[in-house]
Structure 1
């Protein structure tokens, strides 16, 4: 597991947070007060000063946060605690006020520890983007050398060198060199792309093993990488507000508590009766039980190879109605495989594949590995290659067993062997390599990025078991490829050749009809992940994607995604049990307080007992018995 993707220790975050420090200080203040209270001859003010200090120093910041939160969320779980603190202070019940500060700050610290998410998506983009580039002083790498300049200073028309394994600094056109660039995280296309003179280079793409010379066609701030950063800025700024579970439950609970407190005051004429009610009503099962359940869910997810980056998503992952998949690396493995080989008369499949794989051993073309693996799967013996070359526009050539083997594309094959048009089958989709032997058409090797073995079963599982009512693929890949995959896995709605801007637009539209989930693995998916209700990154291949996602599935398996949905459902169920049960017990206590059976201090103690019960129940989230998933893969017995 990558160190940067390890889930932070929530208890460490608790102690380091401001609310956590207030919680510790409140415990110390209450302990000092009790010691002074037991001391013989201590004056009343001497006994209360630690309580007064913590209520003033710790209570005021908490109250300010509660007021801001109440304005934003139309009131919620914290509002009642604030009313209790104010009432306690007005009536001089400093111990009660300090206990409420302890409960409120403890709940806030736990929730902060569970939900803390320094959104580092844009920072990750900035770290990935190159800050300097190499401008040539002459017309080529060998003519005049080069100078290092800031990327922001690149002008249109500048001749730039992109060295091996560097990021392309700006959009441009290749004018010298022949190699490859990995554009997969930017475009959604699953393969490395060959580059030669006249090819377009995209900013943010990773250069291969050979240096390329490009002419800048755009400034850095207008290039593709900058556009994606801009779209992600927009997505981060417009991330939908999700009202937390505690606020949704606490809104009506607050009304009940204040009403009962008012009744107690009216029938007794004693404001302490109101205080006793609201102290018992302090919604700590909401303030503490929910974040404890979330922390347990984070731990449970981590044990299953799922890193939860935004714990707030655990409240929503099991409630999503629309699931949107990127194609490459999510529903597919992200690597091509041979689907079939069409041979010309006089040639055998294994014969041609062995010749092609022999030559492809010396190539870095994106389909070369698939052809080599195809030959290995068939256990073919590969003959020796005497000489090999790969020139721009001519494909890969090699001498094998006295024959000239050329691996190229359909257009070049027709130029070399015009008669091949009578034999090469029409191909509407997928990838292909044409093999020529001694200048004559020998075979067409078709390849595809095949779906994961469990993809079709998983797609059927989502509506059947998780009440998902809309499934779609949103991909930057070609329409024919996306439609092929959709048909294979059983998805009807397809959006192909979608840019990051288009993906973002689609997700925003579907957010209006309910909770959404977006799964992807590339930088081009980051904006859509950021604005979806739940964004899931399949694999930890990109810092940017991992930061934009709410959760990262480290082994890129759909089985782990099912685990995540079940963990979310388990967390919600147990959190609601704890919160609901605690609220019912609190309402019973409030009724006793209305009739004077409980004093404010007794009410605070009763509330603490209720809190302990709620916390113990919430802690069960991390300790499931047996499997939590109900998804059986094709390779697993049902």
Structure 2
């Protein structure tokens, strides 16, 4: 439904054929040289393989570039056409073939990167089952997802994926919902507990009553947002194209002027020969591949090489909270019991119920109960509705885990009973309708978080830093103050995150960093998306770079790698272009012949390539957060 079938002869496949043909022709050219065969039809035998490459590969090249020219796209590719045609006219068939090889290889790599960028949709689609098991009395029948109706009873077998949002009506077990949060949470399920589509069932059969149709479920909504994000992915021009956009017309102007003023066509050819774009076509990929290798040595996975070009240009940094700027492991730090209530008993009752909650704080409550070795009670009639808190019956007691605002809204007198509000997270426990205790939590910020955020503006020249989270306002505001982030937004859905990131990216190049599948759409629409952690493959697919080990120091190293790459890349490209311009001047005045110009241009290429290789020799990155690792 989301993916289309590729045509038999797509542009990518044509480029692959051209690339294979070019490699074969060049190899054949060198293989024939020792044989010393006589010319065939007046052409050296060693040149015939190259002529085949020039005829077929050059035809495809000229056709593709002609389409770009019609769209007024004069980039590095157009410079390659100039060099190619010049080489053919001069009889330099090997040079023309090498240009086809470089350009064809670049196009195949670019197509591969774009296909990988869209594979997030594949990863999402692959998670979902194609059928559901509908239960009718004692009978179970298989139906398509689109045939699920609200109210249908759906049996979810062990290790199956939930096909629809619903409520458990029969069975006790657990489900892995880490795909949504990015954290390895396994949530217990009992009758009354909610189930999210896409969650993976544990070892027990659960019967769920469908609360939404499959196409309206939470997972389907995320898939839709992700698809829209892919379709609206911003078009960002590569650095080579940006430089080539002015260099190509400039080179043509100089060549035509030299020919017109001197009346000598040889000067026209000489100017074009020294204007060949090898520094663009060779230095750029060498520098980028060196940077990718360096990043890999630092544990950074570069999924989209253009990230390394774009990151140094970013002016706005937007961060998710949980698992990115915090450790993503909230801890219960204080229990404030009501008069006459024992903290351990309230904790035991609350933990018994929290086994069936998907909220991150549930893990903290369970961890605190386990640390105190409390025996958990039997639970019935579990219910957890958005905004209403968690309710259920534990050992015959009505237990509710809720929040301050809801209690005060229902009974204003609770404001005098509840303890004073403090920064951070909290929840209130009600026992049989009476106030039992307040639990206070803290999701600790990363130890180097404040230093990391503080150095973004002075060192990496970010002008705006935002904290964007789906968590509650109190927790987000608390973290913002601790880290010195002035602008923060709480309780944001994936759709809202996409809108905010897209808005900021339209104003200035924007970095977004997050984890969890709910961040995948925002990662896709940002100028640069960096996925933090290794729990969500979908998030990694949507991002341009992945930091598997969740270290802000590693993120800082990525900044420095991209900055070094861009600096060396600009040195190679602009330096090569400047030398070419100087040589063009000599050629325009007839001081350089086409042959001498070709040799001179090769010298310029060697200088640009050697400079590009410097990054491959670098072993140490002077990251700003050294010594402040988590």
The question of a shared fold, defined as TM-score above 0.5 by the shorter chain, is answered with yes
Which of 609, 614, 626 is residue 620 of structure 2 equivalent to? 626
Secondary structure of the 1:51 match is helix
SS of the residue aligned with 1:333?
coil
Q: Is 1:430 equivalent to 2:425 in the alignment? A: yes
1:9-24 map, 5 Å: 17-18=16-17, 20-24=19-23
Indicate conservation of the 8 Å contact 1:165/1:206, yes or no. yes
1:409 to 391, 394, 401: 401
Distance verdict in 2 for CA 1:546–1:476, change over 3 Å: same
Matched, 1:532 2:526: yes
- Look up the match of 2:49: 50
Please give the residue correspondences for 1:531-570 in structure 2 after superposition, counting only pairs within 5 Å: 531-570=525-564
- Residue of 472, 483, 486 corresponding to 2:477: 483
Residue 510 of structure 1 is matched in structure 2 by: 504
Give the corresponding residue for 1:27.
26
Please tell me whether the aligned partners of residues 352 and 378 of structure 2 are also in contact (alpha carbons under 8 angstroms).
no
Aligned residue for 1:101? Answer: 97
Q: Which residue of 1 aligns with 2:259?
A: 265
**Contact 2:351 2:365 survives alignment (8 Å):** no
1:246 aligns with 2:240: yes
* 1:82 aligned residue: 81
Residue equivalent to 1:122: 121
Q: Secondary structure at the match of 1:169?
A: coil
Q: Paired residue for 2:152? A: 158
Counterpart mapping for 1:175-214 below 5 A: 175-177=169-171, 181=175, 183=177, 185-186=179-180, 196-207=190-201, 210-214=204-208
1:318-357 alignment runs, 5 A limit = 318-343=312-337, 356=348
Distance 1:73 1:172 in 2: 53
Query: CA separation in 2, counterparts of 1:431 and 1:246?
Result: 53
Report the TM-score when normalising by structure 2.
0.83
TM-score (ref. length: structure 1): 0.82
Q: Report the number of matched residues.
A: 596
Per-residue CA deviations over 1:174-221 (Å, capped at 9, x if unaligned) read 333455555564478996666554554332234455543222233222
Q: CA deviation at 1:124?
A: 0.6
C-alpha separation in 2, matches of 1:164 and 1:426: 45
8 Å contact kept, 2:568–2:611 = yes
Contact 2:131–2:142 (CA under 8 A) maintained in structure 1: yes
* Change beyond 3 A, Cα 1:433–1:622: farther
Cα offsets for 1:113-168 (capped at 9, x unmatched)? 37732220111111011212221121xxxxx1422322232223321123344332
Q: Which moved more, 1:585-594 or 1:198-207?
A: 198-207
8 Å Cα contact 1:84/1:279 also seen in 2:
yes
Q: For 1:33 and 1:265, how far apart are their aligned partners in 2?
A: 37
Paired residue secondary structure (1:392) = strand
> Which blocks of at least 5 consecutive residues in structure 2 are unaligned?
1-11, 383-390, 408-412
The structural deviation recorded for 1:565 is 1.4
1:225 partnered with 2:214: no
Report the alpha carbon displacement of residue 474 of structure 1 after superposing the two structures with TM.
2.1
Contact 2:513–2:530 (Cα < 8 Å) also in 1: yes
**584-593 or 39-48, larger mean C-alpha shift:** 39-48
* Cα distance in structure 2, aligned partners of 1:164 and 1:430: 35
Tell me, yes or no, if the aligned pair for 1:357 and 1:371 is still in contact at 8 Å: no
Q: CA deviation at 1:381?
A: 6.7
State whether residues 51 and 98 of structure 1, in contact with CA within 8 Å, keep that contact through their aligned partners in structure 2. yes
Displacement of 1:623: 2.6
State the alpha-carbon separation in 1 of the partners of residues 434 and 39 from structure 2.
Answer: 109
Moved more, 318-327 or 263-272: 263-272
Residues in 1 aligned to 2:183 and 2:472: alpha-carbon distance in whole angstroms: 8
* Partners of 2:586 and 2:194 in 1: CA distance: 76
RMSD of Structure 2 on Structure 1 (CA): 3.8
Is the alpha carbon distance of 1:410 and 1:586 closer, same or farther for their aligned partners in structure 2, counting shifts above 3 Å? closer
